[in-house]
Amino acid sequence: MGEQRATTFPQEIIDQWAGLGLDLGALFSAGHLGTRMSVQVLEAAPERIVGTMPVEGNTQPYGLLHGGASAVLAETLGSVGAMLHGGPTKLAVGVDLNCTHHRGARSGLVTGVATPVHRGRSSATYEVAITDEDGRRVCSARLTCMLRDVDASVYHRG
């Protein structure tokens, strides 16, 4: 479904994570589920995360974008933001996701933009606006992640 684009990170994020020798694009990707759904994370910073997902292949029986697909996009983007906010010593775990579906989408790409509502020491909440190619709001979502302390060696597990 189109070409893969590399995720763009601000230099301060690249510098913060550099000592771990990790592929940031892979670490802050959509994961296996997102890959199956062709989710692409295009921009990733604690203040703004942008990603896309095709409608095709992610529909319910009536041919509309599946609400669960919107939820996957929203949770992916919000989780990436929470992880970047927490830094290498925190692990973000989603604890609450809600989605309001405003209109259907039958084709094209939807774009999600996640922005922080709250960024604390132990939790982070992101609002995610998902729009169609005409800029119309398809879904409004909110994700809260708990930030847990973690030893950075966890990132080297296979």
Q: Are 46 and 92 in contact (CB under 8 A)?
A: no
Q: What six digits make up the tokens of 114? A: 């996640």
Given 43, 75, 127, 133, the catalytic residue = 75
Q: Are 5 and 50 in contact (CB under 8 A)?
A: no
Residue ranges of the alpha helices (H) in 7-156?
11-17, 24-27, 31-36, 67-86
Active site residue 12: no
Q: Cα(147)–Cα(67) distance, rounded to whole angstroms? A: 26
Residues with catalytic roles: 75
